[in-house]
A and B are shown apart, each in its own frame.
Chain A
Amino acid sequence: MKIHEYQGKELFRQAGVPVLEGIVASSAGEAVAAYEKLGGKIAVVKSQIHAGGRGKGTVKDNPDQRGVVVCKSADEVKAAAEGLLGKTLVTIQTGEEGKTVNKVFVEAGCDIARELYLGVVLDRAAAKPVLMVSTEGGVEIETVAEETPELIFKEHFDPAIGLEAFQVRKICKKMGISGAAAKAAFKFLPAMCRFFVDYDCEMAEVNPLVITGDDQMIALDAKISFDGNALFRHKNLLEYRDLTEEEPSEVRANDAGLSYVKLDGNIGCLVNGAGLAMSTMDIIKYHGGEPANFLDVGGSASAEQVAEAFEIILSDPNCKGILVNIFGGIARCTTIAGALIEASKKIGFDVPLVVRLEGTEVEEGRKMLEESDVAVINAVDITDAAKKIVEAAG
C-alpha cells in the first residue's frame, strides 16, 4: 500500500525523523492560508500523487506547469495551486495517462547545503533490510545505480537491532559528512531504519535528504509503501489509503480477495495461481493476442469469488473474449464450472469464452459445462486454449 508524501511526513514526525513544517491543501484558498500560516516567506507547493518524478513532471496540456513549485508570494502560491489542483500530472513514473492531483502540500522552504539520497528496502538476495545512501540526491536513483553505482553506499541491518553506530560512522566517512551534520546523521539514519521495521515498510525512500546550511538533516521527501501482508498489525495506516489513486476494478477485486491487475489488451483471463496466470498472459501474447488483465482467483476460490471475477473482467469495455485456465489443486474444477454457469445466468456472456480445465474433479467439471446451456469453447491444453481465444477475440 502506497501513501502520499504529506502522510509519510506525518508518520516521520511521530517517529523522530526530522521534516519541515507543512500543511496539506485541497483548494487554492487553503494553500494560500497554509502559506501565510507557515510565515509567508518561501514555500514549496508540491502536488500529492502516488508517483515519483513530480519535480520534473508537467501538467497535461500545460507543459510550463511543473508538479513542484517554489513560491515567494501568496500570488505565486495561488497560481501554483490553481495550476495543479484538479489537473493531470504526467511524470516518468505515471505513464502517459498521468495522475489527477487532488491535494497539494505547502511546505516551508529551507536553506539547502547538500542533497543526498536515502532509501530503505528489502534486499531479497541477502534476506535482510538494507539502508542505501548516496551523495547523488534529487535525481533518479535508478540512473545513479546504472551509471555510478560506486556512489551508492549500502548497510544491511538486523530488524531486531536496527542500524549500529559503527555503520553510521562508515556511511558518514564515505559521504564526507562530519561535525554537526554527522551528529544529525546519528539520529536520522537509525530512526529511518527503525521506521522501516516498525511500520513493516516495503520501501521507505527520502529523495532528497538534505543537509541544511546549519547542519541539520531533513527529509525533504517521503516515498513510502507498506507490506500489504503486515497491515493486520497496523490498522491505523488504513485511514491513509487513498482509493482515488487506485484502479477501481483493482480495488473491487482486492475487496473480493482476488488478485487482479488491469492491462491494455482485449482478452480477459481468469486463472488460478499467480504463476499460471502470468504464463497464461505470456502464451496469449505468444500466439498474437493481448491480455486485458492478470487475474488469480487463488487456491480456495469460492463460487461467489469466481462470479465476481467474471463481472470484473466483463466490466472492462475492451474485453472481447475470456480465457479460463484452471489447473485444479485446492480449487476444484467443479467449483469453477458451477460458478461459470451461475455467472452466465446472472450476467450473461456476450463475448466468446474459452475454457481449459485440468486437475481436481476435472471430469465432473467438464460434464457440468457440457450439460449446461453456456456457450463454451473447450480447449484441451494451454496452447489450444490460447490459440482459440486469440482467434475468437479477433
Chain B
Amino acid sequence: MSILVDENTKVICQGITGNAGTFHSLKCREYGTAMVGGVTPGKGGQDVEGMPVFDTVEEAVSETGANATMIFVPPPFTADAILEAVDAGIGVIAAITEGVPVVDMVRVYEKVKASDSILIGPNCPGLITPGSCKIGIMPGYIHNVGKVGVMSRSGTLTYEAVWQTSNLGLGQSTCVGLGGDPIVGTSFIDLFKLYEQDDQTEAILMIGEIGGTAEEEAAAYVKEHVTKPVAAFIAGRTAPPGKRMGHAGAIISGGKGTATEKVAALEDAGIVVAPTPADMGDAVVKAMAK
C-alpha cells in the first residue's frame, strides 16, 4: 500500500485552463495519474486535451467520481477553491499555489479540520505515490517505487532527498510536500500517523526547515508513538535571525525556530539527523540499520 493516494485515486485540477494548470495536468496524466477532468468557473463544457472542464467542483465530482484535487488557482482565490473542494467532499486536496494570505488560511484551516478532507499545502509541490499517482509539480522520473516515506516543507529539497533515496535503491512509498507557509493543512505528525500504519513504508524521512515549532512537535510525537526508523534534515542551519528565507514560514524570530533547537529535539527522539543536504539518503540507511 501507500498513503493518501494510489492507483484508484481520481484527480481533477482546479484552475486547469491556466498555463500551469494545463501543463501540470498533462504531466500528471503522462506519469499515469488518473486525471479525470478539471474546474474553471465560467469555462464548463470546454475540454483540455481530453480532460473535461466543469464550472463547479460539485459538478466535477458527480460527473467523474473524483476524490482528489490539485489546485493551481491564483492566490486571491485559493482559499475559496479549497473551501469549494471541502464542500464537494473531496478527500485529498493539494494546493500548489504560492502566496496565499495567512488570514485566509486561518479560516480555511478550521473548516478543513472540521471536515473529512485532507489538505496538503498551500505553497507545496504536491504528493506522489511512485508508479501510481502523481498530484503536483515534482519531476516524476526521479521517483522509484519503494519503502521510504518522504515528507518535507520544501519542494526542491524534497527532490534532492528523493533522488538520493532512489540512487541508494530504497525508493519511496509516498512523498508529500507539506508547504512552506506558516499555516499549512497537514503537519508532520498527521503524516507520521499514516506512515506508521502503512505496510509499504519501512522508514520515514522528514525534511524540515527553520521557523515555527513543527519539527519539535513532530520529534516529541516520534519519541512516543513511532516505531519505524526515522531520519531527518533541517534546512537553514546558517540562516541569520530575523531574515525570511524565501518561505514565509522560514524565519527565526524571537530566538525561536532555530536549526540548533530543532536538531537537538530530533536527536533526543532518536532520529538520525543528516548533517548536510547531501547526507539525507545516508541518514535513512543509518536509521534503518539502527
On A, residues with C-beta under 8 Å from B are 93, 122, 124-125, 127-129, 141-142, 145-146, 158-160, 197, 200, 202, 227-230, 232-233, 259, 261, 263, 271-283, 285-286, 291, 294, 296, 299-300, 327-330, 358-360, 381-383
Contact = CB atoms under 8 A, between A and B. Distances in A.
Interface of B: 20, 24, 75-76, 98-107, 109-110, 125, 137-139, 142, 152-160, 163, 180, 182-183, 207, 209-210, 212-214, 217, 233, 235-240, 242-250, 254-255, 275-278
A229 B154 contact: no
Contact of B109 (A127, A261, A272): A127
B154 A275 contact: yes
Contact of B246 (A229, A259, A263, A383): A259
Contact of A275 (B76, B139, B182, B207): B207
Contacts of A360: 139
Nearest to A295: B246
Contact of A281 (B154, B217, B239): B239
Contacts of A229: 75, 99-102, 248
Given A146-B255, A282-B236, A327-B163, 5 more contacts: A227-B102, A272-B156, A275-B153, A281-B236, A329-B139
6 contacts: A122-B183, A232-B76, A274-B245, A276-B156, A278-B210, A280-B277
Given A142-B255, A327-B163, A129 B155 contact: no
Contacts of B153: 275
Contacts of A277: 245-246
A230 B102 contact: yes
A278 B246 contact: yes
A328 to B, nearest CB: 7
Contacts of A145: 254
A329 B254 contact: no
B95 to A, nearest CB: 13
B75 A124 contact: no
A267 to B, nearest CB: 12
B155 A329 contact: yes
Contacts of B137: 299, 329-330
Contact of B102 (A142, A200, A285, A328): A200
Contacts of A197: 103
Nearest to B275: A286
A294 B275 contact: no
A286 B235 CA distance: 12
A263 B254 contact: no
A275 B180 contact: yes
Given A227-B101, A274-B245, A329-B137, A142 B183 contact: no
Contacts of B182: 122, 124
Contacts of B104: 230
What secondary structure prevails in chain A residues at the interface with B?
mixed
Contacts of B248: 227-229
Contacts of A263: 240
Nearest to A358: B163
B247 A200 contact: no
B162 to A, nearest CB: 10
A47 to B, nearest CB: 19
B236 A383 contact: no
Contact of B235 (A125, A279, A291, A359): A279
A227 B103 CA distance: 9
A276 B238 CA distance: 13
Contacts of B250: 274-275, 278
Greatest chain A CB density within 10 A among B233, B243, B277 is at B277
Contacts of A327: 156, 159-160, 163
Contact of B247 (A142, A158, A233, A274): A274
A233 B107 contact: no
B138 A329 contact: yes
- The 7 A-B pairs of least Cβ separation, nearest first, read A275-B154, A274-B246, A273-B156, A275-B157, A230-B101, A279-B277, A276-B156
Nearest to B240: A263
Nearest to B23: A330
A227 B182 CA distance: 11
A22 to B, nearest CB: 27
A359 to B, nearest CB: 5
Contact of A273 (B157, B213, B243): B157
B238 A285 contact: yes
A229 B246 CA distance: 12
Contacts of B247: 274-275
Contact of A328 (B139, B152, B157): B139
Contacts of A359: 139, 142, 159
A285 B236 CA distance: 11
Of A146, A275, A276, chain B has the most CB atoms within 10 Å of the CB of: A275
B107 A159 contact: yes
Contacts of B254: 141-142, 145
A84 to B, nearest CB: 23
Contacts of A283: 276-278
B242 to A, nearest CB: 8
Contacts of B239: 278, 281, 294
Contacts of A329: 125, 137-139, 155-156, 159
Contacts of A227: 101-103, 248
A278 B180 CA distance: 13
B243 to A, nearest CB: 5
Contacts of A128: 106
A129 B183 contact: no
Contacts of B276: 279, 282-283, 286, 382-383
A275 B102 contact: no
Contact of B75 (A160, A200, A232, A286): A232
A122 to B, nearest CB: 6
Nearest to B142: A359
A271 to B, nearest CB: 8
A117 to B, nearest CB: 13
Contacts of A281: 236, 238-239
